[in-house]
Amino acid sequence: MSKRLKLLLITLNILSILFLIFSVYFLNQQKSITGRVISNPNPEKSITGKLIENQEQVDEFSNTTKIHWSHMPLTYKFETNCPEKREIEMRKAFEQLKQDTGFLLWFKETKTNPDISIYCKESQWEKWKDETLADALIHLDKSNKNLIIKGEINLYGQQTRLCKTGYPRLEVHEILHLFGFRDVGDMSSVMFSYQLDYQDCKIKKIDKDIEKALKEIYSS
């Protein structure tokens, strides 16, 4: 074999080895891109998956600029033992609000990780010299102050205060605080700041403007 031929063969060998290395590398590149695409066919879906893992929800009502919850139904849980009467009135209020909004708002009782936690506590009568029957608290998302991520309702003592009409005003009032509605001075409003006596309370439904505001947000 001549020296030239030997050199040619070595060069060919080197070239074919280089070709092999490149094709294996190239194929691997292709594979990894394909793999990524297959495991992530829909980027939005995968982001959703990640958010759910972090126990957050996608905002289904992001069209609004008003304070709102991200999803329906909202789940609720009695975190402490409650007097039976108070539990019944609370459940009735969730059901009532569903009816009042034409099923736009709806709620489900859960045993784990609720959106709304309900606590029954001792009467506050002595502590504050003024009887608070219930109060409510909301937690907002850190990065989106319009987004409500958790609600708490505290029910104090044994007493329930149904209206003459049978409407669970006290409980509906507290739930509406969890939707960002504030107390008002109008006695005919469900958001009137003081508890009315049984006889004075003529409420049968939430206020028209509250209903309208809720529809604007949760119909989208």
List residues binding Zn ion (CB under 5 A): 183
Comparing CB distances to Zn ion, the nearer of 68 and 173 is 173
H-only helix segments in the chain: 3-39, 43-53, 84-100, 125-128, 169-177, 208-218
Comparing CB distances to Zn ion, the nearer of 109 and 135 is 135
As measured in angstroms, the least distance from the Cβ of 177 to Zn ion is 6
d(CA 56, CA 105): 19
Comparing CB distances to Zn ion, the nearer of 74 and 153 is 153
As measured in angstroms, the least distance from the Cβ of 173 to Zn ion is 6
As measured in angstroms, the least distance from the Cβ of 32 to Zn ion is 58
Comparing CB distances to Zn ion, the nearer of 122 and 183 is 183
Single out the residue of 96, 67, 92 nearest to residue 214, CA to CA. 67
Q: Are 100 and 205 in contact (CB under 8 A)?
A: yes
As measured in angstroms, the least distance from the Cβ of 112 to Zn ion is 28
d(CA 131, CA 128): 7
Measured between alpha carbons, how far is residue 171 from residues 35, 93, 149, 156 in Å? 53, 6, 20, 12
Comparing CB distances to Zn ion, the nearer of 30 and 123 is 123
Instruction: Give phi and psi for 36, each to the nearest 5.
Output: -65, -40
As measured in angstroms, the least distance from the Cβ of 161 to Zn ion is 13
